[in-house]
Amino acid sequence: MSVHDDVTGLVLAGGQSRRFGTDKARHRVDGRPMIARVYATVRAVARPVWVSVQRAGDRYDDVLPEGVRHVTDSQPETGPLAGLLAGSRAAETTWLLAVSCDLPYLTADVLRSLLDARVPSVDVVVPETPDGRCHPLCALYRQPTVEPVIETLLAEERRAVRALLHRLNTDQISVPAAPLRNVNRKDDL
């Protein structure tokens, strides 16, 4: 299985974990921190891989491989769009594979299906599970197309990632639900 060098991976780890109660990225699932599991999965298909954090001091050097690069939100406390914007600005590739750190069951096969679905006429490839839910925090974004749209949304104080999808040419692909089970509360485990 090949690694795509025209894709920058981005692990979104800038949330505050309010519902979880502690930093969920560091919470261990099957013996490994969630963020380490997600990072390894993204790294299996894309290089380089960045980690998006809310503030410069929010780092995961203690649970991720040495030399992991972090990008900092330019607008802290504005949600995942700020992380996507930071990743978009840092990416030097055509595509940005953005994945939330709270998807500990994510598989490289799901990510490969996103990569296999990209075509020149699409700005975003987003997975959709059998229950009809679309998952924009595990999606493939075309660079630099998305950057000005994110900037506009943040200027309008619109923070919903779904608003981004509505302004871009988006393709949804069907994937199984289990790998996209995200963890917001400890009960979700």
Give per-residue pLDDT as tens, 58-107.
889 999 999 999 999 888 788 899 999 999 999 999 999 999 999 999 99
50 torsion bin: left (phi>0), alpha (psi -120 to 50), beta (else): beta
- Say how far apart CA 161 and CA 182 lie, in whole Å: 16
Maximum Cα–Cα distance for the chain, whole Å? 42
Which of the four pLDDT bands, split at 50, 70 and 90, describes residue 176? very high
pLDDT at residue 27, rounded to an integer: 84
Q: Which CATH number fits domain 7-188: 3.90.550.10, 3.40.50.720, 2.30.290.10, 3.40.50.980?
A: 3.90.550.10
Which of the four pLDDT bands, split at 50, 70 and 90, describes residue 188? low
Of 88, 85, 59, 60, nearest to 74 by C-alpha is: 85
Contact 54, 12 (CB under 8 A): no
Is residue 168 pLDDT above 90, yes or no?
yes
pLDDT at residue 5, rounded to an integer: 86
Count of helix runs (H) and strand runs (E) in the chain? 5, 9
- Using a 10 angstrom Cβ sphere, with 0-12 exposed, 13-18 middle and 19 or more buried, the burial of residue 46 is buried
Is residue 174 pLDDT above 70, yes or no?
yes
Q: Which of 22-36, 37-51, 131-145, 174-188 has the lowest mean pLDDT?
A: 174-188
